[in-house]
Amino acid sequence: MLFLASYGDYWRKIRKIVINEVLSSSKLEKLRDVRVSEVKTSIKDLYSLFPITGDQNLDFPVTADHFPVTRDNFPVGGDDISFIVDGDDVIKQKKQPLTEIQGKDSYNKVFLSDPSLDPTHGGSFSAKGDKVKVNITNWIEKLTLSLIVKKIAGKSYGRVKKGGNEKEAERFKKALKDFMSIGFVLWDAFPIPLFKWIDFQGHVKFMKRTFKDIDFVLQSWLDEHVKKRERVNFVEGNEEDFIDVMLSMMSNEDFVDGYSRETTIKATALSMVLVASDTTAIHLNWVMATLLNHRDAMKKVQDELDTNVGRNRWVEESDVKDLIWSNPDTFDPERFLTSQAGVDVRGHQYEFIPFGSGRRSCPGITYATQVTHFAIAHLLQGFDFSTPSDEPLDMKEGLGVTMRKADPIEVFITPRLPSVLYKF
């Protein structure tokens, strides 16, 4: 994989391909619609958790009798609700299905148990007073994984139907988590050659199973792309995602530093998915946790969004330049407005190097900052957040290759925008 490879021909070639074809500013701009679509889909999924209001007030003008000829010749004699003339009968016939099918109690019984069954997907929901408890950590992880998988393999892990992509997405997500956790296990730091073959704690078996699950998904991506190119007589220059680009750049006989085309593509795809989804999700998770423990800062962000964007439209990437925030031990976003406004995060000033420095610095700096700005801005603009019992979150760190928060973030959310804005 790219981030584990030693300096050499392989590392230089693959890094160049990744930067030029996925992470450059021009490529990220071309893929802007993907970011926008996935973030809005995820926001819509959050809003779909809220119960429908169910309008019980039927004192409004109903449709007039526009179909005199068709009504008389209709098989049921024109007595159905579609053709009936205004009056008490139409009110009775219309009130019953509205109450029994679209009413709030009926909705809660049927759809709230499984939001994916909701045909409205965010229709006329109550935007005031209702609170829903959600695991925002899972939401963030799903979003970041869906974003990078869409760019790499052209597949959407955002809103997936039962079976198919859903099973694949859950299997892949679990395997990636297992990969990051097994990377922190130090069971072989001081191996004893004589007993090396004995797997005392089952780590070797666990590692092999994890890599088998990851390879299964990666191989399915590659096979789908190869078959698609054969089926549609693929034309060079019409690449839709990163795997398409890699297939176009490498022939069947191509080897990079001794690795086959198949191995190179799968390893590179895994490197990008791991780094882009895991680190971005962890970053967003810590940002939300810190904001929830500093409500004054969260309120300032929301006030700034209301002032510069308003509540009649969603924030866009072009608005980010107008949403600017300024002691390492103090959560003080305002520091970036004053004395440290010129601090560079790209590795040139060593007091703050979140993306590393030098040749091994993260090539996805632009991607990470764009996703962070856009996702956090949408979350804070779209919802108000509160913790159970209004208690501060535990900021304990978990184990792993990356500094993951030990406990997931569970919060109550309340919509803060007009319901029509959630109908993407």
Q: Where does 293-414 have alpha helices with state H?
A: 295-308, 365-382
Question: Which tens digit of pLDDT belongs to each residue from 69-89?
Answer: 444 444 444 444 444 445 555
**Tokens 């006030």, residue?**
303
Residue numbering of the annotated binding site for heme: 362
Check if the beta carbon of residue 383 is closer than 8 Å to that of residue 291: no
Q: Which CATH number fits domain 2-52+129-422: 3.20.20.60, 2.60.40.10, 1.10.10.60, 1.10.630.10?
A: 1.10.630.10
pLDDT value at position 376?
A: 94
Whether the full predicted model's pTM is greater than 0.75, yes or no, is: no
pLDDT value at position 95?
A: 53
Low-confidence ranges of the chain (pLDDT < 70): 1-7, 52-129, 158-164, 184, 186-197, 233-238, 252-256, 321-331, 333-344, 346-351
pLDDT value at position 120?
A: 34
How far apart CA 54 and CA 216 sit, in angstroms, is 45
pLDDT value at position 235?
A: 66
pLDDT value at position 296?
A: 92
How far apart CA 341 and CA 318 sit, in angstroms, is 20
pLDDT value at position 266?
A: 92
CA distances from 371 to 83, 115, 347 (A): 51, 26, 19
How far, in whole angstroms, is CA 248 from its chain's centroid? 28
Residue 154 phi, psi (nearest 5): 75, 15
Structural tokens at position 173 = 């997500």
How far apart CA 317 and CA 331 sit, in angstroms, is 25
Check if the beta carbon of residue 298 is closer than 8 Å to that of residue 292: yes
End-to-end CA distance of the chain: 38
Structural tokens at position 113 = 């148990």
Residue numbering of the annotated binding site: 362
Q: What is the signed CA dihedral for 400, 404, 409, 414, rounded to 10 degrees?
A: -140
For residue 284, give the nearest of 143, 131, 396 by alpha carbon. 143
Can you name the residues that pair with 386 across neighbouring β-strands? 412
How far, in whole angstroms, is CA 160 from its chain's centroid? 12
Q: Give domain limits for the chain.
A: 2-52+129-422, 68-101
pLDDT value at position 325?
A: 45
How far, in whole angstroms, is CA 157 from its chain's centroid? 8
For residue 145, give the nearest of 121, 166, 117, 173 by alpha carbon. 173
